[in-house]
């Protein structure tokens, strides 16, 4: 099982706009060269057995839902959050 923290922040590996996206980082960091989608792609292609994602905010979780849905059939993901009312539907 792999574990990673997800926050909303700037993806530094691209020349994209300054829009915040789900990235792999731990607060107080606000920038990362690895997006959530890239993290999932890398691990899906390397045959990892499971991924535990620790969402650090509601915003990070809500903005990650479309990405998680894309990978749902292929990767086993455990969601960890201190937010009691998170629901992934």
> How does pLDDT run along the chain (89 residues), one tens digit per residue?
788 999 999 999 876 666 899 999 998 999 999 999 999 988 887 766 678 889 999 999 999 999 998 887 766 666 665 544 444 44
Of 80, 71, 78, the residue nearest 44 (C-alpha): 71
* pLDDT computed for residue 17 by the predictor: 64
**Residue 73, pLDDT score:** 72
Which residues, in sequence order, are CB contacts of 24 under 8 Å at separation 6+?
4, 5, 6, 32, 34, 35, 36, 39
Q: What separation in angstroms does the CA of 35 have from each of 9, 12, 65, 85?
A: 9, 9, 14, 24
pLDDT at 45: 76
Residue with tokens 């849905």: 69
């Amino acid at each position: 099982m792999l574990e990673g923290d997800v926050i909303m922040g700037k993806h530094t590996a691209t020349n994209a706009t300054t829009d915040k996206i789900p990235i792999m980082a731990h607060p107080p960091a606000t920038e990362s060269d690895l997006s959530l989608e890239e993290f999932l792609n890398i691990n899906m292609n390397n045959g990892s057995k499971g991924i535990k994602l620790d969402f650090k905010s509601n915003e990070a979780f809500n903005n990650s839902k479309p990405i998680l849905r894309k990978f749902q059939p292929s990767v086993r993901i455990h969601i960890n959050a201190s937010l009691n009312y998170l629901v992934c539907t």
